[in-house]
């Protein structure tokens, strides 16, 4: 009997990010831009967490505080969410 071995393919996804600009975070009628992907940078450690997506249940006060503290980062091209995929890094 022949044994088949399956190799696991590893994939690394690279998303270049930068600090968010206010106009990128809001859409029509100054409402949060639902579906926009963002990351949070810790003001204590500098580590990033996410991705997160803006939803209709967003706590606007908390989000505003994160923005004012420079914690919100978005993809370099936030409206297209371009990524680089590296196979078997």
Residue 82 has pLDDT above 90, yes or no: no
Facing residues of 13 across strands? 85
What sign has the CA pseudo-torsion 24, 28, 29, 35?
A: negative
Helix (H, G, I), strand (E, B) or coil at 22: helix
Query: CB pairs under 8 A, 24+ apart, for 44-53?
Result: 48/17, 48/73, 51/15
Residue 4 CB contacts under 8 Å (≥ 6 apart), including other chains: none
* Angstrom distance (rounded) from CA 71 to CA 78: 16
For the chain, what percent of residues have pLDDT higher than 90?
53
pLDDT band at 81 (very low <50, low <70, confident <90, very high): low
What does the radius of gyration of the chain's CA atoms come to, in whole angstroms? 18
The pLDDT tens digits of the residues spanning 51-69 come to: 999 999 999 999 999 999 9
Distance CA 72, CA 79 (A): 15
Query: Is the predicted pLDDT of residue 6 greater than 60, yes or no?
Result: yes
For residue range 28-40, list pLDDT tens digits in order. Answer: 888 889 999 999 9
């Amino acid at each position: 009997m022949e044994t088949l071995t399956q190799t696991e393919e590893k994939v690394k996804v690279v998303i270049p990010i930068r600090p968010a600009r206010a106009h990128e975070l809001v859409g029509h009628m100054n409402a949060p831009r639902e579906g926009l992907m963002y990351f949070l940078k810790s003001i204590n450690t500098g580590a990033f967490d996410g991705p997160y997506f803006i939803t209709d249940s967003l706590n606007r006060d908390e989000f505003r505080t994160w923005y004012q503290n420079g914690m919100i980062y978005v993809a370099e091209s936030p409206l297209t969410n371009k990524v680089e995929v590296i196979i078997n890094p």
